[in-house]
Chain A
């Protein structure tokens, strides 16, 4: 057992990432922070609408969308990826509501059926393609991504200025767009999440906003996918907003706290992974979960103290 946990070498774990290994580590940390931010922002609305597990479902069912898009267009460009993800996301939601409406099966079972079957389809197609030599994707990559590869990607240049590796640019774009959309449509998102009856009575088309959110979710998920894989995306969608919810009852503050969590979890998680020599994305999620547990215990203690006082 003591072979498992490597020695804590202060120099290697804490100092080096910011000095000698900086070029390698910085993109990983930035990617992690951006993934956490983009997912966390939209995750807030998923939690408010009690759709956290739809996030789980969509992050799994994106896979066949990506694979089919690849087969059709024979490329993995950003546009193709987004298209595949978008179609997959919409298909998932449509199938789930089809089953719900046309049969006795309820939403939880319908969700489970749809996303597992779609995901299984994606895995089988991927395996067949990999066996045939067309693409190199392996199962582990799908599930937990490899964020370290980001550091190895070539840096995109624009007007002669070196910017960042392509995946980082993608997720940065998605994060910025999400923030802008959330700010622009703040009140519509707020009211459709809070009170659907009132929204409908005011003439707002609640189903349009629902689908819009699902599309945004699909795009965020696919951008995060390559870095952290299917399961971690779910973590990034859920844990930062939960952390924020423990600390604040104001939505704008929660969004700020989500961003804070994303950055801190990324940095802390990276250090953790250097120390333990383990999956970087996994470490980031673990660190983020520990942050949640910390504030959770804190709030329990506070309420116990209040009771006594």
Chain B
């Protein structure tokens, strides 16, 4: 495939003791897609996107963003982590958090410029949080917190967006608003990849799906892969032999 694909993953394996492992993942995602990653708990969905971004170490295989390594093109990737990964008592307000999205564009020691603050305000506007710009983040509801995270990712002005369970613990109105925004991004030619926790809504929201359970079970347009066969394979209990053998290997290597 052309080296201009937003995301290309080859034979990706991630291993760390006692946690779910990823084994030999291969896929290529073109631009302008809204992709959902689904799979049972502990299947490695979060691990997958963290490995792409270099937050977790890769044991084998590689990742390319628009044909280059992640570290070269990290500016083109926006990230929305899980809400629980952050201390909401931190003394920052909504605007501070969204401005963090602009840090990738600033040099070491450079202050956010007028332009950055403008963009931050626009992004807050898009998620309808501008009125709360000066609130400390701990005072927000779950849905509002998620919107702030989303605004921060939008402020990164990326071409690829990786999101980790953005719909967990969020009210219906916020969920709908987020989906609309994601669709907008897709229309603009961006690539949005979302780790999702809920099967039924997955079918509705995403045009393509990645089904993951330690290894790639299937990837393709939703209508094609959302079949009971494939779902069975994904959710119907781990490949016990695979996980036993891989566990044996890691026990061996770790001890």
Across-interface contacts of A48 in B (CB, < 8 A): 87, 90-91
B interface footprint on A79-91 (CB within 8 Å = 1, 0 otherwise): 0000000000000
Question: Which of A187, A191, A202 contacts B74 (CB under 8 A)?
Answer: A202
- The answer to whether the Cβ of A254 comes within 8 Å of any Cβ in the partner chain is yes
- The answer to whether the Cβ of B50 comes within 8 Å of any Cβ in the partner chain is yes
**Shortest Cβ gap from A261 to chain B (Å):** 16
Residue of B nearest to A181 (CB): B109
Q: How large is the interface on B (under 10, 10 to 19, 20 to 34, 35 or more residues)?
A: 20 to 34
Across-interface contacts of B99 in A (CB, < 8 A): 187
Question: Which of A195, A200, A201, A250 contacts B91 (CB under 8 A)?
Answer: A250
Q: How far is the CA of A245 from the CA of B89 in the complex (A)?
A: 10
Interface SS, B side: mixed
User: A183-207: which have CB < 8 Å to B?
Assistant: 184-185, 187-188, 190-191, 193-195, 197-198, 200-203
Question: Which of A188, A194, A248 contacts B90 (CB under 8 A)?
Answer: A194
Across-interface contacts of B136 in A (CB, < 8 A): 249-250
Q: Given A185-B109, A198-B79, A248-B91, are A203 and B86 also a contact pair (CB < 8 Å)? A: no
Q: How far is the CA of A203 from the CA of B162 in the complex (A)?
A: 15
Query: Which of B19-27, B100-108, B173-181 sits within the interface?
Result: B100-108
- The answer to whether the Cβ of A51 comes within 8 Å of any Cβ in the partner chain is no
Question: Which of B55, B97, B100, B152 contacts A200 (CB under 8 A)?
Answer: B55
Question: Which of A190, A197, A203 contacts B81 (CB under 8 A)?
Answer: A197
Residue positions of B touching A, CB distance < 8 A? 50, 53-55, 71, 74-75, 77, 79, 81, 85-87, 90-93, 96-97, 99-100, 103-104, 106, 108-109, 111-112, 136, 138, 152, 162
Residue positions of A touching B, CB distance < 8 A? 48, 184-185, 187-188, 190-191, 193-195, 197-198, 200-203, 245, 248-251, 254
